[in-house]
């Protein structure tokens, strides 16, 4: 029999860890007669194209992995597949169907069975059952499932399945109301021993150009009301010996990035220290590891470890969500904000670790002004990325039970995003959506860092800056268009000239120009940049005669080529000392030349290597 595990991802670079894990576990069981196939698509594919591919696979059972980002897509696809392949059985698993399985089956007749909770063992047992009782999966007449089949299935914990025999429901003692639903639900699957789950990355070629997700624990010790991880109150860990062996596989393959999906990676502090120590000792100079952590659980031992790390070895994501104490209490989140920000600042000063801080709009007791304060609080600590998200009322969470208590209204369809609360109107959510867009385009891109550092202090607050910028951006219709890099600079410059007072515009233009060339050798030169044509011959001579100062490594290695170097770099003349401004915010007028080397970039922010020298009266002299 052929079983097709189908993952529909949000983006091509994503991979579906769940279906790979189910297949690896079932393969280890070596179930005779079972052929298990994996297929991955994205929500950007056409339904018709995926439908044709699934149909031509001729699977007996198709299993969909369901999440908030793909559930609408999966529903449509399953309904169409059932039309063209009436005999195929369609199963589903994942958080989007686990917490309201009966209702999902009632509303979606194309689906035959739901796996609830952790699916590895359940999936394997279902395969055994299907192979022993082929009418269950192979006949177009669904009434072939008989009373004995249902009794067998009721012994399997972790499923919800249609009962096609009303007689069976009555004979096993269900009420007439339950009989009409024709669904048998055996609850959630038993929790897995993490060491029994196989490592899914046996062939890294299958994951080329993909983000690799890695799971070393399940569950979370915290009880945040908006999070599904709080439902699983038991934290289970994969043994360190096994984790280190699997880290060796990633390191040996020199994969670009591994994202740990552990909900709070450092909830067991010593275990986190052991893993980070192992990465320091075995660093391959290439692979980056991403962790979601609670910064207030850090200590001095971790800081000492972080200081030893290669820039870009790890990156940290820290979910602050709000700095409003009443909000934090209402969502059952426990954190020491002073300690959290203390360690965020300490890590920031190290300069070798990317930090990503998260906020959630739409939480209880957080109004528009309060959210603005939370935004400013996080912005002050200069995260590499500031993620402004919106509350999603997920099935199975405490927040879902509290929507009436807090007058939360949210979308009926996935992703179930908040539309308003007792404290936050939909008008204000629209404003925050605009702020989110500009934060993503300008702050999180990292391409305008020095410009923002200079400009934002001229406004009442960082939040006020993005709020005003968004209002201007939308008023002029810029949000309806796609813009290239130069156009984005022009839009920002236009806004700043309209709203900043007592500014020396030549300084702003110098800083913007530096930001622009720091990350890209822009083809079209901006109209507000000075004409440097008269220096071209002098700079060309620099490449020929001063290579040992501009490109010392290449010269020493004997690989330096002045023409190639000129094509892969850029020289610009500035009237202020940008480096001094970058380091301490001081503006010093000083004629400086800067070479931007795009072959060597900062692994944290992708900034080009720079070489600066004071302009000398003697031409060509560095």
Could you tell me if 435 and 426 are in contact, meaning their C-beta atoms sit under 8 angstroms apart?
no
Structure tokens at 34: 């079972």
Burial label for 529, CB within 10 Å (0-12, 13-18, 19+), is middle
Residue 424 has pLDDT above 50, yes or no: yes
Residue 165's pLDDT is what? 56
Could you tell me if 467 and 431 are in contact, meaning their C-beta atoms sit under 8 angstroms apart?
yes
CA distances from 87 to 58, 84, 112, 129 (A): 10, 9, 11, 17
At 96, the pLDDT band (50, 70, 90 cuts) reads very high
**Three-class DSSP category at 451:** helix
At 148, the pLDDT band (50, 70, 90 cuts) reads very low
Q: What is the pLDDT of residues 261-282, one digit of tens each?
A: 999 999 999 999 999 999 999 9
125-134, 487-496, 540-549, 579-588, range with the lowest pLDDT: 125-134
Percent of the chain with pLDDT over 70: 92
Hunting for tokens 């670009």 — which residue is that?
256
Who contacts 190 (Cβ-Cβ below 8 Å, separation ≥6)? 118, 121, 157, 158
**Three-class DSSP category at 395:** coil
What's the whole-number average pLDDT of the chain? 90
Percent of the chain with pLDDT over 90: 79
Provide the CB-side half-sphere exposure for 329 (13 A, CA): 4
Can you list the pairs that 561-566 forms with residues at least 24 positions away whose Cβ atoms lie under 8 Å?
566/540
Q: What is the pLDDT of residues 4-24, one digit of tens each?
A: 999 999 999 999 999 999 999
Return the bridge partners of 385, or none.
Answer: 356
Residue 164's pLDDT is what? 59
> How is 568-608 classified by DSSP, letter by letter?
TEEEEEEEE-HHHHHHH----EEEEEEEEEEEEE-TTT-PE
Residue 535 has pLDDT above 60, yes or no: yes
Q: How far apart (Å, rounded) are the C-alpha atoms in residues 560 and 553? A: 8
Range from 131-145, 233-247, 492-506 that averages highest in pLDDT: 233-247
Could you tell me if 261 and 216 are in contact, meaning their C-beta atoms sit under 8 angstroms apart?
no
Residue 552 has pLDDT above 80, yes or no: yes
Structure tokens at 469: 């910028």
Q: How far apart (Å, rounded) are the C-alpha atoms in residues 130 and 5? A: 15
Hunting for tokens 């692994």 — which residue is that?
603
Residue 147 has pLDDT above 50, yes or no: no
* Among 543, 509, 536, 359, CA closest to 440: 359
Residue 622 has pLDDT above 70, yes or no: no
Burial label for 536, CB within 10 Å (0-12, 13-18, 19+), is exposed
Q: What is the pLDDT of residues 331-364, one digit of tens each?
A: 998 899 999 999 999 999 999 999 999 999 999 9
Residue 445's pLDDT is what? 94
Residue 503's pLDDT is what? 73
Instruction: Identify the DSSP state of 144.
Output: G
Residue 137 has pLDDT above 90, yes or no: no
- Specify the pTM: 0.90
Q: How far apart (Å, rounded) are the C-alpha atoms in residues 343 and 295? A: 6
89-103, 147-161, 216-230, 486-500, range with the lowest pLDDT: 147-161
Residue 169's pLDDT is what? 38
Hunting for tokens 């909770």 — which residue is that?
117
* Among 392, 397, 482, 407, CA closest to 437: 482
């Amino acid at each position: 029999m052929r079983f097709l595990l189908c993952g529909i991802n949000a983006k091509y670079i994503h991979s579906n860890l769940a279906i790979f894990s189910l297949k690896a576990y079932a393969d280890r069981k070596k179930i005779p007669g079972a052929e298990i196939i994996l297929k991955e698509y994205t929500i950007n594919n056409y339904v018709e194209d995926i439908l044709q591919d699934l149909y031509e696979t001729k699977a007996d059972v198709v299993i969909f992995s369901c999440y908030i980002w793909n559930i609408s897509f999966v529903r449509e696809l399953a309904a169409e597949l059932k039309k063209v392949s009436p005999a195929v059985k369609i199963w589903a698993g994942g958080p989007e169907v686990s917490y309201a399985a009966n209702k999902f089956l009632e509303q979606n007749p194309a689906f035959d069975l739901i796996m609830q909770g952790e699916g590895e063992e359940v999936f394997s047992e279902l395969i055994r059952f299907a192979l022993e009782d082929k009418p269950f999966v192979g006949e177009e007449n669904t009434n072939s499932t008989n009373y004995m089949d249902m009794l067998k299935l009721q012994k399997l914990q972790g499923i919800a399945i249609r009962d096609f025999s009303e007689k069976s429901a009555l004979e096993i003692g269900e009420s007439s109301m339950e009989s009409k639903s024709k669904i048998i639900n055996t609850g959630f699957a038993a929790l897995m021993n993490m060491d029994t789950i196989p490592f899914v990355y046996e062939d890294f070629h299958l994951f080329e150009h993909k983000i690799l997700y890695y799971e070393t624990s399940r569950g979370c010790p915290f009880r945040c009301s908006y999070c599904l991880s709080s439902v699983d109150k038991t934290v289970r860990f994969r043994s360190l010996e096994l984790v280190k062996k699997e880290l060796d596989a990633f390191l040996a393959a020199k994969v670009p990035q591994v994202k740990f999906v552990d909900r709070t990676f450092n909830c067991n502090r010593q275990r986190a220290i052991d893993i980070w120590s192992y990465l320091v000792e075995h660093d391959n100079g290439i692979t980056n590891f991403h962790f979601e952590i609670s910064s207030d659980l850090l200590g001095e031992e971790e800081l000492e470890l972080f200081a030893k790390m290669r820039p870009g070895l790890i990156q940290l994501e820290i979910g602050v969500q709000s700095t409003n104490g009443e909000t934090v209490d209402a969502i059952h989140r426990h954190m020491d904000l002073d300690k959290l920000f203390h360690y965020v600042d300490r890590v920031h000063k190290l300069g070798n670790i990317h930090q990503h801080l998260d906020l959630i709009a739409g939480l209880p007791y957080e109004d528009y002004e309060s959210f603005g304060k939370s935004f400013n609080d996080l912005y002050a600590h200069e995260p590499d990325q500031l993620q402004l998200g919106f509350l999603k009322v997920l099935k199975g969470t405490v927040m879902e039970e509290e929507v009436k208590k807090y007058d939360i209204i949210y979308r009926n369809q996935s992703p179930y995003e908040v539309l308003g609360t007792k404290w936050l109107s939909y008008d204000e959510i629209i404003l925050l959506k605009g702020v989110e867009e500009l934060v993503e385009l300008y702050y999180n891109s990292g391409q305008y860092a020095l410009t923002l550092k200079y400009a934002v202090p001229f406004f009442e607050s960082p939040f006020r800056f993005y709020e005003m910028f968004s209002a201007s951006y939308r008023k002029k219709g810029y949000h309806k268009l796609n813009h290239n890099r130069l156009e984005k600079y022009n839009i920002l410059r236009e806004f700043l000239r309209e709203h900043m007072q007592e500014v020396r515009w030549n300084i702003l233009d110098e800083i913007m120009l530096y930001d622009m060339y720091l990350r890209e050798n822009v083809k079209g030169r901006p109209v507000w940049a000075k004409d440097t044509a008269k220096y071209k011959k002098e700079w060309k001579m620099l490449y020929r005669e001063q290579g040992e100062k501009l490109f010392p490594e290449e010269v020493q290695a004997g690989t330096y080529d002045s023409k190639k170097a000129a094509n892969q770099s850029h020289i610009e003349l500035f009237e202020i000392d940008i480096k001094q401004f970058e380091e301490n915010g001081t503006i010093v007028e000083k004629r400086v030349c800067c070479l931007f080397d795009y072959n060597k970039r900062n692994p944290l922010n992708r900034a080009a290597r720079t070489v600066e020298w004071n302009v000398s009266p003697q031409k060509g002299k560095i």
